[in-house]
């Protein structure tokens, strides 16, 4: 199944018979999403889950910290940590939409593969350029089965496992491997991130986050910033402001209501920080986004990326 066939499969599955939110279609496979956007987008902020993303068509620019990169058809993009991104689709149209397939990485599958076949998935194992082709082939076969639900129910777990296998064997294999190691810094910080994600509006003590990560306060701060590029408080603020944008664009709530719901006591401080992150004050953002397709899904976290290979 060549990439043009995968492109057609994604176009077919993301048609009118399937529910889409912000250009993102959920599938019966846990963590598998198909992305279809028919116009360039405004700047979108997200905190990415670890994932692999195959870009099939169009182009997207992504900034993480001081790094900015552009990803186009044929690129494979891999996120190996919870990282904040600012991204925009720069090339898309109705005739040639931006298309991508994204699969969230499963630490439990990685752990099972690493422990079950340590020699095959050892950090020193040299990546084979052929593994990239095998990875894409496994994704193609998984997407092709979306139209065959009976077979998908039987084969999906094996194909998801195969995708993780090829990722462990690839050029980002060492970073992927750390997601499956219970005592790795990435896995520990992920436990703290899960607490922040669960209730971003709730004040959380640094000691609680450090305890969840099994680290002392100073070590936790150091490793959290190294992995996410932000301090814990900056990370929580980013989550709050992304949730605020979702509430404003999708539910039409007032600025003061949203400010309170996401944990701000001062509406003026909320407005300033919202404008600093999203480029315009909340109400102006709402007016400009009115009628624009896809922005309500801007914080969904699917499709922006970390490392790229071709």
Strand (E) or helix (H) holding 180: none
Task: Tell me if domain 1-177 and domain 235-295 are identical in fold.
Answer: no
Q: Give pLDDT, residue 31.
A: 93
Global pTM value? 0.75
Cα–Cα distance between 47 and 92 in angstroms, integer? 23
Nearest to 304 by CA among 153, 13, 78, 132: 78
- What residue segments make up the domains of the chain, in order of their start? 1-177, 185-229, 235-295
96 within 8 A of 26, measured Cβ to Cβ: no
Map tokens 């925009």 to a residue: 88
> What residues in the chain have per-residue pLDDT under 70?
1-2, 16-22, 65-66, 122-130, 252, 289-310
* Partners of 85 in beta bridges: 46
Map tokens 């900015």 to a residue: 68
Look up the CATH architecture of domain 235-295: Orthogonal Bundle (1.10)
How buried is residue 72: exposed, middle or buried, by Cβ count under 10 Å (0-12/13-18/19+)? middle
Look up the CATH architecture of domain 1-177: Sandwich (2.60)
Rounded-to-10 torsion of CA 276, 86, 250, 55? 170
Instruction: Give the count of alpha carbons within 13 A of 117, CB side only.
Output: 13
- Per DSSP, the three-state class of 89 is strand
240 within 8 A of 248, measured Cβ to Cβ: no
């Amino acid at each position: 199944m060549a990439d043009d066939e995968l492109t057609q499969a994604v176009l077919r599955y993301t048609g009118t018979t399937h529910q889409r939110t912000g250009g993102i279609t959920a599938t019966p496979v846990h963590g598998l999403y198909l992305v279809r956007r028919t116009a360039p987008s405004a700047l979108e902020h997200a905190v990415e889950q670890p994932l692999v993303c195959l870009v099939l068509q169009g182009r997207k620019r992504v900034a993480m910290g001081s790094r900015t990169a552009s990803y186009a058809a044929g690129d494979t993009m891999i996120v190996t940590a919870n990282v904040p991104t600012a991204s925009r689709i720069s090339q898309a149209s109705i005739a040639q939409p931006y298309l991508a397939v994204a699969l969230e990485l499963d630490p439990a599958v990685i752990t099972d593969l690493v422990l079950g076949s340590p020699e095959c998935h050892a950090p020193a194992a040299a990546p084979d350029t052929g593994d990239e082709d095998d990875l894409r082939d496994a994704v193609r076969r998984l997407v092709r089965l979306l139209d065959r639900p009976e077979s998908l129910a039987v084969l999906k777990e094996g194909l998801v496992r195969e995708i993780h296998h090829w990722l462990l064997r690839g050029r980002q294999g060492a970073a992927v491997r750390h997601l499956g190691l219970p005592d790795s810094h990435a896995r520990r910080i992920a436990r703290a991130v899960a607490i922040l994600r669960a209730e971003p509006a709730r004040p959380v003590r640094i000691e609680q986050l450090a305890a969840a990560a099994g680290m002392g306060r100073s070590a936790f701060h150091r490793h959290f910033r190294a992995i996410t590029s932000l301090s814990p408080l900056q990370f929580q603020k980013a989550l709050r402001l992304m949730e605020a944008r979702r509430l404003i664009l999708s539910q039409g709530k007032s600025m003061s209501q949203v400010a309170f719901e996401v944990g701000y006591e001062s509406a003026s401080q909320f407005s300033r920080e919202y404008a600093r992150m999203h480029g315009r004050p909340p109400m102006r953002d709402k007016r400009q986004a009115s009628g624009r397709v896809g922005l309500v899904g801007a914080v969904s976290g699917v499709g922006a990326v970390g490392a790229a290979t071709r």
